[in-house]
Structure 1
Amino acid sequence: MSTSENGTTDGTTAPAPAPTGPGPGSGPANPRSPAPPRSPLRVPAFRRFLLAQLISAIGSAMAPLALAYAVIGAGGGAGALGLVLATSTVPTVLFLLVGGVLADRVSRSRLLFLGNLLAAAAQGALALVVGTGAASTGAIAGCGFVSGVAVAFTTPAAQGVLARLVEPDRLQQANALLRLPTNAVKVVGPVVGGMIVAFAGPAWALGLDAVTFAAAALLLLGLRLGAPVGRGGALADLRAGWSGFRARTWLWTYTAAGTVLVAAWLAGYQLLGPIVAEREYAGARTWGLVQGAFSLGLLAGTVVCLRWKPQRLLVVAVVASSGLALPLAALACALPLPWLLLGAVLAGITLDIAGVTWVTAFQQQVPDAELGRMSSFNQVGERLAIPLSYLVVALVSPVFAARSVLLVCTGIIVAATLLNLCVRDIHRIRRLPRTPPAGAPRTPLR
């Protein structure tokens, strides 16, 4: 790794001149290097990154509700809202691979700065057209398209930033610390957003979202991370990235299983959940309780990850992801509300544990120079699950009862988990030791 890859913030260098990520070419551990900080919070660059993520999450938690009411205010219905959501999702899928290549060729902190600045411009323009009464479905969709492009460039870059800010053995703690405030925001953000929309209108909530993106952009600019070392042309890098993705059996099998699992979860929870709650329970009131229980579970899962450090990271991630089947099974069987709420809490806990252990294993096992491209290939698979789930539900809903489809979704989640556990490489991924033996390079499992 070149000297320029050490991130700095306000003149403070990121921790320890040890390798920032495992992989071929990583140098041996330096026995004279200072001991890593006890907590990532002692690293100024990490605190800056954490604050930027939190500020951005505050605005993003309010945006979906504001967007829905902006579409309604423009005279649109469910079809128009679906078009707007699709318009923001499609460019993310289309440009993710480009974003992954760029994340391995240019400064990731600069890429995050530009991506957040683009998102701020898109949300600011949307707030302006909504506030002036000039909004139409086409204009809202256009702003959503720009926001989707921004996500495509920031998502792969964000995966590679954290591995440069903290030591490899501190990555799980750092990932959990990043998720703790953002999960807390998910609990209160929609409530605050609803109040702003109710009393001031959706334009104000969208404008606040734009301000948070701009503030996050300025904070991220201060990271000043150097660019990874480029090896060739962009197309050559993309081909090399695809070869590396296919060569890592644990990575592409986890991505494939995750795509199926996420599609089943979205179809069952996001689409059919409110419908079954309306028919079998107390409607919106029940679904609000379920959503709150799930969010509290996410917070609890983050707290667990701050303390528990399993050795077999991917095994834990795969097994924990099966917890998403619990609320779907409860809905399908029309269990009493306390059991449904318990299933939602457990699903939130296990989902967050799966998320933290997965991203920690990913950051530890993939070399720094490939993090952007590997992340983009993984993200393309999981984001394809969104339209896949919508399409499947649209096709089967007229034929099968919602509770029957929920049972199928439950079975798909369990089956995807069991099949993924049959992959040998999943069991071979272990947490990196705190300090490798002197003179021994850390080589990731391929």
Structure 2
Amino acid sequence: MHGARVSAPLRGNPPFRRYLLAGLISSAGTAMATGAVAFAVLRLGHGASGVAMVALGQTGATVLMLPVGGTLADRFSRVRVIVVAQLVIGSLVALQACLVAAERAQVAQLALIAAAVSVARAFSSPARFGLVGDLVPAEQAPEANSLAKLAQTGVDVFGPAVGGVVVAAAGPSVGIGVNALSFVLSALLMRGVRAPPARARGRTFRSDVREGWRVVSRTPWIAWKVLGSAVVVSCWQVSYAIAGLTYVQQRLGGPAAWGVVASCLGIGTVAGAVLALVWTPRRAGQAGGAALLPLALPGLCMGCGAPLPLIAGTVVFAAMGLTVAAVTWRSLVQQKIPESQQGRVAAWVQLGETGLAPLAFLLVDPAVGRLGLQGALLLCAGGLAAAAVAPLAHPDVRRLRLAPRPSQG
């Protein structure tokens, strides 16, 4: 009975199955390209500051465009928004691969392309948030969300390791090129997904944008969680994708070693998705904060000079907690926010979570110069631990509950 409930969204639902397959293909390409752009930057002779510049381009563009993307997701066909965004991303990533292959890439060029890719992602991400609810009945939403997360990250177990070997043997351009192709194939599959038509648009675009902001800013449990997550996301991106990647590249073996670490991120994400598929935490506020605490462990281990196997193990644990927290948060928003507002709320929340990241990226170079690479990693670990539990100071966060699934009622 339990297995039948878990797989219910897949039975007799071709659009949802096609949605899952499209996400699986684009995730596979992205997984194989994990770190490829960063290693291209490092091969140009730039260190952590060069990687941070590319990351700054990505995050800065996302921050600017998310409110627009969220409003579009609530006003237009979510399938069409995703298809167009996937095709644009595929074209931009292909250009990135060509520049790297021709050895004509500069850090500024890679940063600009990364920013353009992030603009397209800012349109597709809120649409994806709401599309699952368009494709399955409301009572199947928890299982559908977990299955979507599982499909998205399942290939992360082996993809980064394979990609690390490919990048080490054939160069970053090959890994980036595979990623470009995956987005095109994913867009072609998404074109066949049948979902409800575009929503009625009786108000102005600007008023819809403002309404999304009002919901987020005037709902205390959302505002407090976003404030804590802003620090968590910034510290995690610096400690894992910038300082951590540079540490592994310089001291633990380069792209192949990073492939192992990134694969461990995939293993932990899959494990977390499986756990979220079969278990719903009733005390969602406390569970979300506790699940984020392990994110501090990889930076702590690297800051203390731990060996690669221990670092890889902590990445598994961190990714598992991050996935449980993410699925719990998605379920809270879907249960407590009207469906017609979910795209905008998801966009404003993501904007708040990533809003501090550009500043954090700018501080990478002076922090590493003053504290050293390992000192900067330890600082991020401390910030992560504090920010994960800080929202629990507000009673509305502590009182958050998720509705039980039928088998738990």
**How does the TM-score come out when normalised to structure 1?**
0.78
Deviation of 1:112 after TM superposition, in Å, equals 0.6
Which residue matches 2:114?
144
* Shift in alpha-carbon separation, 1:66–1:355, aligned structure 2, 3 A: same
* Shift in alpha-carbon separation, 1:127–1:251, aligned structure 2, 3 A: same
Which residue matches 1:175?
145
* Shift in alpha-carbon separation, 1:269–1:86, aligned structure 2, 3 A: closer
Which residue matches 1:249?
220
Which residue matches 2:390?
419
| Cα shift readout 1:55-99 (whole Å, capped 9, x = no counterpart) | 1111112334443465578x5644665544433332222111111
Which residue matches 1:121?
91
| Cα shift readout 1:295-314 (whole Å, capped 9, x = no counterpart) | 32222222211221222333
Which residue matches 1:378?
349
SS at match of 2:371: coil
Letter in 2 for 1:326: L
Letter in 2 for 1:151: R
What is the correspondence of 1:318-397 to structure 2 with a 5 Å cutoff? 318-334=289-305, 340-397=311-368
| Cα shift readout 1:179-229 (whole Å, capped 9, x = no counterpart) | 223323223223333444455554444333222212211222222331123
- The answer to whether the 8 A contact 2:248-2:257 is kept is yes
* Shift in alpha-carbon separation, 1:138–1:259, aligned structure 2, 3 A: closer
Q: Distance in 1 between matches of 2:149 and 2:294?
A: 19
SS at match of 1:230: coil
Deviation of 1:370 after TM superposition, in Å, equals 0.8
Q: Distance in 2 between matches of 1:178 and 1:146?
A: 26
SS at match of 2:271: helix
Q: Tell me, which stretches of 5 or more residues in structure 2 are unaligned?
A: none
Letter in 2 for 1:240: E
Letter in 1 for 2:59: T
Once structures 1 and 2 are overlaid, which stretch shifts more, 312-321 or 114-123?
A: 312-321
Letter in 2 for 1:39: A
* Shift in alpha-carbon separation, 1:267–1:71, aligned structure 2, 3 A: closer
Letter in 2 for 1:361: L
What is the correspondence of 1:255-270 to structure 2 with a 5 Å cutoff? 255-270=226-241
1:221 and 2:209 are equivalent in the alignment? no
* Shift in alpha-carbon separation, 1:58–1:145, aligned structure 2, 3 A: same
* Shift in alpha-carbon separation, 1:291–1:194, aligned structure 2, 3 A: closer
* Shift in alpha-carbon separation, 1:63–1:270, aligned structure 2, 3 A: closer
Letter in 1 for 2:317: L
- The answer to whether the 8 A contact 1:267-1:393 is kept is yes
Higher helix share: 2
1:209 and 2:172 are equivalent in the alignment? no
| Cα shift readout 1:219-242 (whole Å, capped 9, x = no counterpart) | 222223311232411111111111
* Shift in alpha-carbon separation, 1:242–1:231, aligned structure 2, 3 A: farther
What is the correspondence of 1:12-411 to structure 2 with a 5 Å cutoff? 39-42=8-11, 43-68=13-38, 77-78=46-47, 82-130=52-100, 135=105, 139-197=109-167, 201-225=171-195, 226-273=197-244, 284=254, 290-334=261-305, 340-411=311-382
Aligned-residue CA RMSD (Å) = 3.2
Letter in 2 for 1:161: L
* Shift in alpha-carbon separation, 1:335–1:62, aligned structure 2, 3 A: closer
* Shift in alpha-carbon separation, 1:105–1:323, aligned structure 2, 3 A: same
Deviation of 1:350 after TM superposition, in Å, equals 1.2
Deviation of 1:51 after TM superposition, in Å, equals 0.7
Deviation of 1:257 after TM superposition, in Å, equals 0.4
Which residue matches 1:13?
none
Q: Distance in 2 between matches of 1:337 and 1:69?
A: 19
Deviation of 1:159 after TM superposition, in Å, equals 0.7
* Shift in alpha-carbon separation, 1:310–1:111, aligned structure 2, 3 A: same
Letter in 2 for 1:346: F
Q: Tell me, which stretches of 5 or more residues in structure 1 are unaligned?
A: 1-34, 436-446
Which residue matches 2:400?
429
Q: Distance in 1 between matches of 2:253 and 2:173?
A: 28
* Shift in alpha-carbon separation, 1:124–1:402, aligned structure 2, 3 A: closer
| Cα shift readout 1:143-186 (whole Å, capped 9, x = no counterpart) | 33331221111111111111222233433322222222332322
Letter in 1 for 2:185: A
Deviation of 1:129 after TM superposition, in Å, equals 4.8
Letter in 2 for 1:166: V
- The answer to whether the 8 A contact 2:163-2:259 is kept is no
Higher CA-based Rg: 1
SS at match of 1:236: helix
- The answer to whether the 8 A contact 2:266-2:319 is kept is yes
Deviation of 1:433 after TM superposition, in Å, equals 5.1
Once structures 1 and 2 are overlaid, which stretch shifts more, 166-175 or 371-380?
A: 166-175
Once structures 1 and 2 are overlaid, which stretch shifts more, 331-340 or 256-265?
A: 331-340
Letter in 1 for 2:151: P
Identity %: 35
Deviation of 1:404 after TM superposition, in Å, equals 4.6
